[in-house]
Amino acid sequence: MHIGTLSITWTSLILIVTSGYDDLSANKNAQQYRTGISCPVCVATNAVDGDIKTCTRGESFGTLYPEKSTWWYVDLGGRYNVYNIRIQFKDYGEMYTVRQRGRFAGFSLYVSNTTDRHDGYPCYKDGQELPPLDFNTNCITNGRYVIFYNERLVGTNYPLGYETNSVFTELCGVTVTGCVRLDVYGSNCDKPCSNNCPEPRCNISNGACYNCAPGWMGDFCKSKCLFGYYGSKCVQKCVGHCKENEPCNHINGTCDNGCLDGWIGVNCDKRMF
């Protein structure tokens, strides 16, 4: 499924649809820490069912409750390249906007390969400002689980506007966009990563490799090792005596065209006598 944008050419009344990043979270499995007893139907999967009218509701937490934190996560079903996370919080109307923003304030987001946020990459952490009820942030990383976490700890001085005594979380829409295929990047998920990205996997935004295959260097792994070096991260020095003093193979250190007179071995590093 692709998240798309729509534009209309009014003179011709032609509807143009442009594709975009894949929706990685739609109708996937989700879990939360204790569905609130006041709304047993407000289960975790409501946030990814595509219906903004159905929301989650976690059990209350805060300084007046035994529980001081809460969490929610969606299992994307595999390790994917993530681009953006959008969260639509419960909106009760203008009269309650400040209260709602105060309830959600302080939350953080992680992308992880496990359900433990400590194992993951921290995408976002709320600061002094109260979050909008329709929130989104770019998080260019990869992982299987997108984790929402919030807390209200006794003895912590929270910024003005934070609700602290009685808090519960209502997520009405969580949309995680990225690319289902691992070896592509770009807003249409159609540009191939460099063949020298070894996983293969690359930065979903610009195609940069996270690391390079042996013998290659640079953000996009398109440059050979510097003269006289080879291998992983291009830190191994050529030790042989290649024919006509040529550099060794930038990938494995061998002498492709043979050895200087008097030298033998795959790497031309052994004297003949």
DSSP string, 203-265: -TTT--BSS--TTEESTTS-EEPPTTEESGGG-EEP-S-BGGGPPPPTTT---TT-B-TTEES
pLDDT at 269: 87
What is the percent of the chain with per-residue pLDDT over 90, rounded to a whole number? 83
Distance CA 5, CA 200 (A): 29
Return d(Cα 227, Cα 204) in angstroms, integer. Answer: 31
Q: What is the pLDDT of residues 27-74, one digit of tens each?
A: 999 999 999 999 999 999 999 999 999 999 999 999 999 999 999 999
Whole-model pTM?
Answer: 0.83
Measured over all CA atoms, what is the biggest interatomic distance in the chain, rounded to whole angstroms?
91
Q: State in words which class domain 5-179 has.
A: mainly beta
Residue 7 has pLDDT above 50, yes or no: no
pLDDT at residue number 6: 40
pLDDT tops 80 at residue 2:
no
Mean per-residue pLDDT over the chain, rounded: 91
- Going from N- to C-terminal start, the domains of the chain cover 5-179, 205-273
Can you give the pLDDT at residue 272?
82
DSSP single-letter state for residue 131: P
Of 151, 138, 17, nearest to 81 (Cα)? 138
